[in-house]
Chains A and B, each alone.
Chain A
Amino acid sequence: MNREQLRQALVGSIETNDISIFKPYLIALIAVGVFGFAVGILTGDSQLVLQAYLINFVFWIGIAQGAVILSVVLRLTNAKWGRPIMRLAESASAFLPVTILLFIVVMLGGEKLFIWINEPVAHKAIYLNAPFMYSRVLVSLLLMTGLSLIYVRNSIRNDLAAIYQGKLIPERFRKLLANYDVNRIDSSNEKQTTLSVIITICYAVCYSLLAVDLIMSLDPHWISTLFGAYYFIGCFYTGIAFTIIMASFFIERPEGKIVGSKQFHDLGKLLFGFAIVNGDFFYSQFLVIWYGNLPEETHYIIERTQHQPWETIAYIVLFLSFVAPFIILLNKKIKMKPIAMRWISIAILLGLWLERTLLIAPSVAGSTSFPIGWIQITITLGFLGIVITSIKYFWSKFPMVVYGDPLLKYSLEGEK
């Protein structure tokens, strides 16, 4: 596809898309989630419900933020191949503002989740107390959401300006493009690069602290110095998998033709690489704790890998998030097939969802039987509904290819 065809496809999509995003199936998904949550709370097992909620919370914020970070990383590394999928990755940012609202539920139910709220740990009370922890998390979420939205907004402005250069700008973009200076695209690209560096640094710091606050502190006596990095690398990994899933749907749109098998191949290599990094970070923690054999560290691992039902889940997680992707993605051809990659990514996301369950559930409600029932499933579906709705909103409103990016030319016909 050449530049003009792409432009027309983009304009066609923006100007004809149906902005009514609340499709019946999405309303149904969200309703199922709300229903499951309400019935769960009312029938009494509120701890189990909040636990399922927290699992989904840390899972989905990681996906949305991880996908935005993918775009940031592609920009910082000047990856030519990645230009066609940058906006796709950025579109997950539409979910980020919602996460701040969703966190209110965690705050309301905090007492049931965080054991140290009612039984403070003496020497940690300065750090682990409800007001300080909630404000830390809120600041992290607000900071990351704010930075990500500014980044995406700048990016979209450049593209709209390039698409409508010398043409009439549609009514609803006028406000977005107000005081935009077309002659300064270069300096705005430079600013975006600086912003990308800031986002990457803030991501590492904020998501490490989130990992400590929302996951590690559930068992306030357990520590692992790599845990913060393990969480944010895992989030990036899920962000890549989620972008692949989005790309496998995106190729059906007229402008989606710009995403070819090259993009899937490279995304697949990235996914393969992070399957290994994620596995390596797991093993680095596991081996050190196994050798050290200190009770305050091992109790956490023993409960999760040697006691049922968690033992079974631990093996499923190992298989879905490392063994299976490692073996399957060694193959070159499969990485180029969108539908195959979609299902591999879904399996990886399922593995990482179970991994979050494994990290959180034994510390909160615990369980003696298989820990996934209607409560977990309905709440997960509810979250899925909210995520799809926010992303659909983004897809229908904004140009879905970084048309104004100077490196996009490497993916267009007749340019180089």
Chain B
Amino acid sequence: MHTKKIISASYIYVDDFVKVIKHFKSLNRKFVTYSPIPNHEIEEALGAKKSKIGLFTLAGGIIGLISGFSLAGFTAAEWNLILGGKPPVTLIPFVVIGFEFTILFGALATLLGLIINAKLPSYKKLKGYKPEFSVDHFGIIIEAEESELATLKDSLLGMGAKEVTYE
């Protein structure tokens, strides 16, 4: 019977950590990394694509722009009265409403994008996560067969790991 284990290693130095990532990437293994801060070198090593959250912002902004202008125009047209000597439906002052709605919807859509993409909120306990990963350790978590645990641990320690545990 195969039982998968979770092996979790923590590193202090970014350059060690980058080497580890590159090593396991070249082996085509699946792994998850944790870091206390965003870091360019780690991102480069992971080779992940740029996040697509911008599309959410853009879509939200465009929807906001259209709804702002439409709301102002629609409500003004409902009562076709000249107020303050101004034509009921006129673009010049509606720019302000259109603008504010663009920002509001853009920001809310960005929030939505973040929630969907980063899978927040999730209160599940993550296997292998250690509290230090939010403080000063860079962590890597790999799923492994029971048989290869020892070799993996040695190679992780060999690359400068401070601590390696498995569960």
Contact = CB atoms under 8 A, between A and B. Distances in A.
Contacts of A286: 92
A291 B92 CA distance: 10
Contacts of B96: 287
A293 B95 contact: no
B54 to A, nearest CB: 10
A290 B92 contact: yes
A291 B95 contact: no
Interface string A287-323: 1001101000000000000000000000000000000
9 contacts: A283-B95, A286-B92, A287-B92, A287-B93, A287-B96, A290-B92, A291-B84, A291-B86, A293-B85
A286 B84 CA distance: 17
A287 B96 CA distance: 10
A209 B95 CA distance: 31
Interface string B5-27: 00000000000000000000000
A290 B96 CA distance: 14
Contacts of B85: 293
A293 B92 CA distance: 13
Contacts of B93: 287, 290-291
A283 B95 CA distance: 10
A29 to B, nearest CB: 41
Nearest to A293: B85
What 3 pairs across the A-B complex have the smallest Cβ distances?
A: A290-B92, A293-B85, A287-B92
Contacts, number: 12
A322 to B, nearest CB: 12
Contacts of B86: 291
Interface string B86-119: 1000001101100000000000000000000000
Nearest to B92: A290
B79 to A, nearest CB: 20
A388 to B, nearest CB: 39
Nearest to B84: A291
A286 B90 CA distance: 14
Contacts of A287: 92-93, 95-96
A283 B98 CA distance: 14
Contacts of A290: 92-93
Interface string A22-57: 000000000000000000000000000000000000
Contacts of B92: 286-287, 290
A290 B86 CA distance: 9
A245 B93 CA distance: 36
B60 to A, nearest CB: 15
A290 B95 CA distance: 13
A335 B55 CA distance: 19
A412 to B, nearest CB: 21
Interface string A263-291: 00000000000000000000100110011
B167 to A, nearest CB: 43
A286 B91 CA distance: 13
Interface centre among B84, B85, B92 (most CB of A within 10 A): B92
A60 to B, nearest CB: 32
Given A286-B92, A293-B85, 10 more contacts: A283-B95, A287-B92, A287-B93, A287-B95, A287-B96, A290-B92, A290-B93, A291-B84, A291-B86, A291-B93
Interface in B38-56: none
A249 B13 CA distance: 44
Interface string B65-93: 00000000000000000001110000011
A291 B96 CA distance: 13
Contacts of A293: 85
A318 to B, nearest CB: 12
Nearest to A330: B58
A401 B92 CA distance: 46
A290 B84 CA distance: 11
A283 B91 CA distance: 12
Nearest to A290: B92
A286 B86 CA distance: 15
A286 B85 CA distance: 16
A287 B91 CA distance: 11
A329 to B, nearest CB: 15
A290 B85 CA distance: 11
A283 B84 CA distance: 20
A305 B99 CA distance: 22
A91 B95 CA distance: 40
A291 B90 CA distance: 12
A290 B91 CA distance: 12
A283 B96 CA distance: 10
Contacts of A283: 95
